[in-house]
Amino acid sequence: MLYLVPTPIGNLEDITLRALRVLKEVDIILAEDTRTSKKLLMHYEIETPLRAYHAHNEHAVVEDIIRQLSAGQTIALITDAGTPGISDPGFLLARECVKSNIKLECLPGATAFVPALVASGLPCDKFFFEGFLPHKKGRQTRLQFLSELPYTFVLYESPHRLVKCLNQLIEFCGEERMASVCRELTKMYEECVTKTLPELIEYFDTEKKVRGEIVIIVEGKAIAKKKKKDKYK
């Protein structure tokens, strides 16, 4: 059996009792970065053996893991932070388990975009999760697609690319589009700032250094268009 186990995105208290029990009981824990995961396991006095499983080796080791699972071993998959499979390794192994009729359970738990979306104050009844944009090829095509969506969309971005990404969003979405930038979620310096795209650039461009993983929430075109229409009534 394979368990997909969410781990804290910052605050180590953001892990469920069930997740802790599973991590203690399984035969092996597959970890995106064993050095990062050891800190979490040591904090909770979990001594289960670790094995590396990440984007650079998953294709090479997936067959061996399937054989272990088929032989009766119980395995948990964790990533550095958040839920496996959400912009992190997990999909490939989950797919192979389904193909091989191996029981699979995904535990509920931490993921960055949900608290960022809710805290943004932007509509969240419908939304589109994009995750990380391509760095080069296909980036403008994706931005054009996202700019036309009628509902809120969600991006992940690295801190050193934040201002560049916001400038590109202005290019495709316009200066009046509202957006929110959330960083350092669940940590001491957590910050969620909701403003127009130009205001966000001004805010973060004057910061000495932007730190932490970034979630960008952008207002949908339909909402922005309605607000603009109401403004000139």
Domains of the chain: 2-106 (3.40.1010.10), 113-231 (3.30.950.10)
CB 156 within 8 A of CB 182: no
Tell me the per-residue pLDDT of 92-151, one tens digit each, with 9 for 90 and over: 999 999 999 999 999 999 999 999 999 999 999 999 999 999 998 999 999 999 999 999
Residue 203, pLDDT above cutoff 80: yes
d(CA 137, CA 195): 29
DSSP 181: E
Residues 6+ apart with CB under 8 A from 191: 181, 182, 183, 184
CB 96 within 8 A of CB 48: no
Percent of the chain with pLDDT over 90: 89
CB 120 within 8 A of CB 186: no
Mark residue 82 as left, alpha or beta (left: phi above 0; alpha: psi -120 to 50; beta: remaining): left
CA 156 to chain centre: 7
CB 211 within 8 A of CB 204: no
Residue 168, pLDDT above cutoff 70: yes
Tell me the per-residue pLDDT of 41-81, one tens digit each, with 9 for 90 and over: 999 999 999 999 999 999 999 999 999 999 999 999 999 99
